[in-house]
Amino acid sequence: MQLLHMVTSSPARTPTITMFGNPDYFFQTTNGALPLAPMSCGADPALCVVQSSGFAWNHGDVQQDITRTWFAMVGPGVRRQGRDDGVFSDHTDLRPTALALLGLRDDYVSDGRVLAEKLEHQALPDSIAPRDGDEDNDFVELARVYKQLNAPLGELGKASLALATRSIESTDTTYGWYLSQIAPLTAQRDALAMEIKLALDAAEFGHRSLPDFHSDVLISRARALIDQVEDLAARSRQSSR
């Protein structure tokens, strides 16, 4: 949950476990006083599973049908691209994008990144504007891997969720192994995400370019960490069969 940014500063507001349902189902909890259907589970817990025609299967969880929302921009400096689903982003990217478009900056570093792919080159500082014919410049490449590293629905986040689920479903030994792995991985991710976030902010609002070797190293480290978590998730999948 900490890796997925679900732990708050108030312990009273942080649950001890969060359930994500099978993507094919909508599910809800009940206290027994409000049965989901006029039936009793009896001695068979499986009888508590009820498929109701009153709900569409599109509530909460992590599948794209649920988590993908739309955002529209229009105005001077914004590219006229129409609908474009090719850039992975989330809500944290909207604020720095708006600030960059308006020529403003804040006094703290944002958790998101400027969506440079959505803005006209002349509306961006030279330090992050893609060159003509080279849309995937150092800034864009680093910004994209940063989202896959740090966003809850990025590659690392989704792999960690699969790893956690299979570990919880397995033996106490497996779950203990999982706990020993996830804590240092989260610490590594947080430290690396901070490095990348500061580098992106310096380019976005400090007009400092990203040296090729620096961005390449950060991208390589991020990809290695993502691959490590995905490998652990794959190994847990194989061991659970």
For residue 134, report the phi and psi dihedrals to the nearest 5 degrees. Answer: -135, 70
Contact 50, 37 (CB under 8 A): yes
Q: Which of 173, 181, 165 is nearest to 232 (CA)?
A: 181
pLDDT in tens, 120-130: 989 999 889 87
Least confident of 62-76, 175-189, 211-225: 62-76
- Please report the pLDDT score of residue 27 as a whole number: 67
d(CA 107, CA 31): 47
How large is the average pLDDT for residues 9-36?
71
d(CA 91, CA 50): 34
Q: In this structure, what is the dihedral angle of CA atoms 221, 226, 231, 232, given to the nearest 10 degrees?
A: 110
- Please report the pLDDT score of residue 238 as a whole number: 73
Instruction: Give the CA distances from residue 233 to residues 24, 181, 182, 223, 226, in Å, rounded to whole numbers and listed in that order.
Output: 21, 11, 11, 15, 11
pLDDT band at 46 (very low <50, low <70, confident <90, very high): low
- Please report the pLDDT score of residue 38 as a whole number: 47
Residues written for the chain: 241
Q: What is the value of pTM for the model shown?
A: 0.86
Say which DSSP state 80 is in.
Answer: -
Mean pLDDT taken over the chain: 86
Domain boundaries, the chain: 66-239
d(CA 119, CA 192): 27
How large is the average pLDDT for residues 4-29?
80
Give yes or no for residue 226 having a pLDDT over 60: yes
d(CA 150, CA 5): 9
- Please report the pLDDT score of residue 236 as a whole number: 82
Give yes or no for residue 213 having a pLDDT over 80: yes
Q: Write out the two tokens for 72.
A: 């529209």
pLDDT in tens, 90-129: 999 999 999 999 999 989 999 999 999 999 989 999 889 8
Give yes or no for residue 31 having a pLDDT over 70: no
In single-letter form, the type of residue at position 188 comes to Q
Q: Write out the two tokens for 219.
A: 């991208």
Give yes or no for residue 80 having a pLDDT over 70: yes
Q: Which of 23, 19, 18 is nearest to 66 (CA)?
A: 23
d(CA 94, CA 89): 9
pLDDT band at 153 (very low <50, low <70, confident <90, very high): very high
